[in-house]
Amino acid sequence: MRWLARILVLVALLYAGAVAALWAAQEALIFPGWGGPTAEQVASVEGLREIVIPGEIPLRAWSRPADPGQPTIVVFHGNAGTQWSQLPPFAERGWGILLPAYRGFAGNAGHPHEAGLYADAEATMAQAAAMGLTPGEIVLYGESLGTGVATWIAARPEGWRALVLDAPYTSVADRAAESYPFVPVRALIRHEFDTAGRIGAVEAPILILHGTADGVIPISHGRALARLVPDARAVWIEGGTHLLPPGRVAEEMADFLDR
């Protein structure tokens, strides 16, 4: 039976090595990075220009002023960039845009981590206030990873115009546990982004958008969040993947805000 013991030891060592590798690589998995928009992408959004948001770490950001009487959409992007194709329709409707890139993204200094992204969100909201925007003029829009950041800001009862969650998750820990069921993820993860634990504190109107064919963050996460906040408006986009069709987000947001 000595051979069996050796095999079991080898399996245990291989498993421990795999777990250790995932623990060490979680930042690379959660925050793969984004180089920032191309000049063509920026030019595609009328009135958009690059600015720098001051703070603990200066952040590259892109801003467009709103037309009179229109809201400003503060965009918290996903872990590999933003759905840039959704932004031109925002500008076409006269909405303002404020899109920061997180630390470690788009050439910004620093390394991304959960608390760091929240600090970047704080700096972004300070920038919005410095631009003369009030919470009632601000729509917090998070996509993918950014839904957790947007919800963290929205949980403050400051009178935000709305919270829009595009392909949200209940928590990064939940999604990681689904992806790696053989690993004790909840004991190892350093960046939880607990959207489900915070969304109940949001007083602003909530719109949840999720594609039924999303293979990155399954629609079950969006449905679970909708059950936690029954007053939220949930739109399940049939056949939609993790990247929704261009203009669809603006279309749903416009209808939601008009109501």
Contact, 165 vs 147, CB < 8 A? yes
Task: Round to whole Å and give the CA distance between 207 and 181.
Answer: 30
Contact, 127 vs 147, CB < 8 A? no
Closest-CA residue to 169 (of 139, 184, 189): 189
Handedness of CA 49, 50, 54, 56 (dihedral sign): positive
Q: What are the catalytic residues?
A: 144, 214, 242
Closest-CA residue to 225 (of 248, 202, 244, 245): 202
Task: Round to whole Å and give the CA distance between 257 and 214.
Answer: 25
Kindly compute the dihedral angle of the four CA atoms of residues 258, 213, 194, 25, in this order, to the nearest 10 degrees.
Answer: -140
The DSSP output letter for 201 is G
Task: Round to whole Å and give the CA distance between 116 and 14.
Answer: 33
Buried b (16+ CB within 10 A) or exposed e, 67-76: eeeebbbbbb
